[in-house]
């Protein structure tokens, strides 16, 4: 497995990980330079003044929702995934702030059974209206298929691209429901380590510019698929609600969130782990990325959690060390990965052949094979693709 001398002494990023290197003190680029960023990971740095202003705005929004409570059917819309953060935020809105949110879930077609179980458990204990949209699953599947077959980068993880496009579609679907009901605020439970493209608020101009991708013009997509994105009419009417991320400014500790949702029996013990509630597309993209780049995109996010709270370093380092060999052996979420590949019309071997063809064109292929071999040799795993000459 990964040797400790190859791991950043502060977080958990390995030396040679796509775009990451350790210095003489054993610190990775991100830990040695707070301003460092690369194409796969960039975190918006927020000064205290901006954070205070955002917190002041959130408190003002809460006061407004409480003041107008009861004048409409719903005070806000919550994008609800069944994960620990959206569950805790739902509980906070209802039981702490005494508001009435409308919970909205868009089925991607690849939601985990645990995420769905979490939803049922939570909604049995917190009485709120919940809209579960299944029809968009067809469009999500097409979106994923497009990216798996058209991703061809020597620098950017597939999981990064897929998550961006997928989240934009989810955001758009949830916002369209808010527009339908005339609701002014949409909330998502992104945690403080998830400050990638937005901090606290998704600005209206960026929502308009980024949420309707150019690839929708491709013949591969139809009007059925385009209906889930914001229309020109909705944009011109100026009825787009504010889209806010409260956990970027209010108190948040991962351990406290897990303890809260489990102690209130909103989520069964052990079912709050994001590795269990992340959609199955993430697992398939992780399989692709490890075989293609010799790394796991989510190591960046785990490392950010460690920088914010060093107490969790052991947990995330163990997760990284255990999961990588399992991914190589296709034993990590094997059933889910294979079901996903089958649904987009490709076998595991065909996908591995596709990956190997891309690797042969990558100028960094020797380093990639070397990174993969660190795990393969420890577990004596036979190569899934031909080794370089």
SS in 3 state form for the chain? CCCHHHECCCCCCECCCCCCCECCCCCEHHHHCCCCCECCECCCCCCHHHHHHHHHHHHHHHHHHHHCCCCCCCCEEEECCCCHHHHHHHHHHHHHCCCCEEEEEECCCCCCHHHHHHHHHHHCCCCCCEEEECCCHHHHHHHHHHHHHHCCCCCCCHHHHHHHHHHHHHHHHHHHHHHHHCCCEEEECCCCCCCCCCECECCHHHHHHHCCCHHHHCCCCCHHHHCCCCCHHHHHHCCCCEEECHHHCCCCCHHHHHHHHHHCCCCCCCCCCHHHHCCHHHHHHHHHHHHHHCCCCHHHHHHHHHHHCHHHHHHHHHHHHHHHHHHHCCCCCHHHHHHHHHHCCCCHHHHHHHHHHHHHCCCCHHHHHHHHHHHHHHHCCCCCCCCCC
pLDDT, tens digit (0-9, with 9 covering 90-100), for 358-385: 888 888 788 777 767 766 655 444 444 4
Q: Confidence band (pLDDT; 50, 70, 90) for 176?
A: very high
Cβ(158)–Cβ(340) below 8 Å: no
- Predicted pLDDT at 359: 87
Give 217's contacts (C-beta < 8 A, 6+ positions apart).
none
Q: Using a cut of 0.75, tell me whether the model's pTM lies above it.
A: yes
What do you get for the CA distance between the two ends of the chain, in Å? 24
> How many other C-beta atoms can be found within 10 angstroms of the C-beta atom of residue 39?
12
Question: Where do the domains of the chain lie, and which CATH numbers do they carry?
Answer: 4-38+279-379 (no CATH), 48-255 (3.40.50.620)
Closest CA to 178 of 119, 128, 114, 234: 234
| Highest mean pLDDT pick, 57-71, 158-172, 231-245, 362-376 | 57-71
- Predicted pLDDT at 329: 72
- Predicted pLDDT at 43: 67
pLDDT, tens digit (0-9, with 9 covering 90-100), for 101-131: 999 999 999 888 899 999 999 999 999 999 9
- Predicted pLDDT at 219: 87
Task: Decide: residue 205, CB within 10 A, 0-12 exposed, 13-18 middle, 19+ buried.
Answer: exposed
pLDDT, tens digit (0-9, with 9 covering 90-100), for 195-235: 778 899 999 888 887 788 888 888 899 999 999 999 888 88
Q: List 131's β-bridge partners, or say none.
A: 104
Mean pLDDT for the chain overall: 87
Q: Confidence band (pLDDT; 50, 70, 90) for 64?
A: very high
pLDDT, tens digit (0-9, with 9 covering 90-100), for 345-362: 888 888 889 988 888 888
Cβ(381)–Cβ(375) below 8 Å: yes
Cβ(114)–Cβ(280) below 8 Å: no
């Amino acid at each position: 497995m990964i040797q400790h001398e190859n791991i950043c002494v502060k977080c958990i990023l390995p030396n040679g990980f796509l775009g990451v290197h350790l210095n003489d003190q054993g610190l990775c680029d991100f830990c040695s330079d707070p301003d460092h960023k690369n194409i796969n990971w960039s975190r918006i740095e927020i000064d205290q003044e901006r954070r205070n202003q955002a917190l002041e705005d959130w408190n003002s929004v809460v006061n407004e929702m409480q003041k107008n409570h009861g004048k409409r059917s719903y005070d806000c819309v919550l994008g609800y995934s069944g994960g620990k953060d959206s569950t805790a935020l739902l509980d906070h809105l209802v039981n702490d702030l005494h508001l009435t949110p409308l919970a909205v879930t868009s089925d991607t077609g690849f939601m985990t059974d645990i995420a769905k179980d979490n939803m049922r458990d939570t909604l049995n204990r917190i009485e709120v209206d919940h809209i579960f949209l299944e029809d968009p699953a067809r469009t999500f599947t097409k979106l994923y298929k497009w990216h798996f077959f058209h991703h061809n980068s020597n620098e950017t993880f597939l999981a990064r691209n897929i998550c961006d496009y997928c989240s934009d579609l989810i955001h758009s679907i949830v916002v369209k429901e808010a527009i339908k009901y005339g609701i002014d605020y949409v909330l998502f439970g992104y945690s403080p380590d998830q400050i990638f493209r937005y901090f606290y608020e998704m600005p209206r101009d960026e929502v308009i510019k980024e949420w309707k991708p150019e690839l929708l013009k491709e013949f591969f997509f139809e009007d059925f698929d385009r209906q889930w994105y914001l229309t020109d009419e909705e944009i011109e009417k100026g009825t787009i609600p504010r889209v806010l991320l409260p956990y970027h400014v209010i108190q948040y500790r991962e351990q406290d969130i897990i303890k809260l949702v489990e102690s209130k029996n909103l989520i069964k013990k052990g079912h709050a782990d994001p590795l269990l509630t992340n959609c199955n597309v993430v697992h398939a993209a992780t399989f692709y990325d490890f075989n293609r780049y010799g790394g796991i995109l989510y190591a960046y996010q785990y490392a950010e959690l460690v920088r914010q709270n060093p107490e969790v370093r052991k947990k995330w380092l163990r997760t990284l060390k255990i999961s990588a060999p399992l991914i190589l052996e296709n034993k990590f979420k094997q059933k889910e990965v294979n079901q996903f590949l089958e649904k987009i019309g490709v076998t595991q071997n065909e996908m591995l052949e596709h990956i190997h063809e891309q690797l042969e064109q990558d100028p960094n292929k020797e380093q990639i094979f070397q990174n993969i071999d660190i795990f393969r040799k420890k577990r004596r795993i036979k190569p899934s693709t031909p080794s370089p000459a």
